[in-house]
């Protein structure tokens, strides 16, 4: 699969991985729809891209998941169709379970899971009618195994895998593809913006994120996985080996994570 003449919709496009995707895809002969909550940042990304005339912005908030049918209708009208939806928007969390307000768990589920699911379901009839389409979902390695201080985040990301694996099975007959992208540590602001126990932002970077993959390297690997229509892709440094350790022994993975000082 190539991106030429495709219409690609990216959520969480105002910074980090989403911004990197927009910059890289703008070099190719495709059209982009960029979404996030922040219109000013989206406009800045659009101006930074090549061929900005092929890029439209559509601000909205994933937390308002009841509005996704209207949002999706507006998106389709921009270029007349959508070929690929890259579900990249979301937030993270850093706090011990015992201290974390249930409102934080709720917010993570509303944004990372329900917002993404509602948007994808709203677009599904369009994909079925066209008998084609690809969902790309940026989950996390934390959607495959867990880590301390990320309970709400891990829960939401695990849920995404359950939903989209089912969608892939149900709509194989409609030629709809699902690619789950599982990043390890990527050097973005995800840790700074992560919610703490009371719902406030952490406000600082952690060492593992700071030393993670550069966004441009990550994006190139991610786009390769999308082109190949992979079911899942694990992209990171040594933390990716957790996927394979889990297959050997859950108890061993438990010990490795406790000793790795990822918190």
Q: Is 153 a known active-site residue?
A: yes
Residue-wise DSSP of 69-80: HHHHHHHHHHHS
* R_g (Cα) of the chain, nearest Å: 18
Position 1 scores a pLDDT of 66
Position 36 scores a pLDDT of 98
Length of the chain: 263
Q: Which residues pair with 84 in a beta bridge?
A: 8, 134
Q: What is the pTM of this model?
A: 0.96
CB distance 188 to 16 below 8 Å: yes
Examine the pLDDT at 263 and tell me if it is beyond 90: no
Handedness of CA 167, 170, 171, 177 (dihedral sign): positive
Mean pLDDT computed over 57-69: 97
Q: Hey, what domains does the chain have and what are their CATH numbers?
A: 7-260 (3.40.50.720)
Residue 138: pLDDT band (50, 70, 90) is very high
Position 261 scores a pLDDT of 62
Examine the pLDDT at 166 and tell me if it is beyond 90: yes
Handedness of CA 186, 194, 121, 68 (dihedral sign): negative
Rounded Cα gap, residues 221 and 17, in angstroms: 12
Position 90 scores a pLDDT of 96
Examine the pLDDT at 262 and tell me if it is beyond 60: no
- Determine which one of 135, 153, 204, 234 is catalytic: 153
């Amino acid at each position: 699969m190539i991106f030429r003449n495709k219409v690609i919709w990216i959520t969480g496009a105002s910074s980090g991985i989403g911004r990197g995707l927009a910059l890289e895809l703008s070099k190719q002969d495709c059209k982009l729809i960029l979404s996030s909550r922040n219109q000013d940042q989206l406009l800045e990304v659009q101006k930074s891209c090549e061929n900005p005339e092929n890029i439209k912005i559509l601000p909205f908030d994933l937390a308002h998941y009841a509005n996704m049918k209207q949002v999706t209708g507006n998106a389709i009208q921009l270029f007349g169709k959508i070929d690929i939806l890259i579900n990249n928007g979301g937030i993270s969390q850093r706090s011990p379970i015992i201290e974390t307000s249930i409102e934080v768990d709720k917010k993570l589920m509303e944004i990372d899971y329900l917002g993404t699911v509602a948007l994808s379901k709203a677009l599904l009839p369009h994909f079925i009618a066209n008998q084609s389409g690809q969902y790309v979902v940026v989950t996390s390695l934390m959607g495959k195994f867990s880590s301390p201080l990320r309970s709400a985040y891990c829960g939401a990301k695990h849920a995404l895998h359950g939903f989209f694996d089912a969608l892939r099975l149900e709509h194989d007959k409609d030629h709809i593809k699902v690619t789950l992208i599982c990043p390890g540590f990527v050097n973005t602001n995800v840790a700074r913006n992560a919610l703490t126990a009371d719902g406030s932002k952490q406000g600082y970077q952690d060492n593992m994120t700071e030393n993670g993959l550069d966004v441009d390297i990550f994006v190139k690997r991610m786009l390769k996985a999308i082109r190949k229509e992979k079911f899942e892709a694990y992209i990171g440094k040594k933390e990716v080996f957790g996927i394979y350790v889990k297959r050997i022994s859950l108890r061993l993975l438990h010990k490795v994570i406790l000793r790795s000082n990822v918190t």
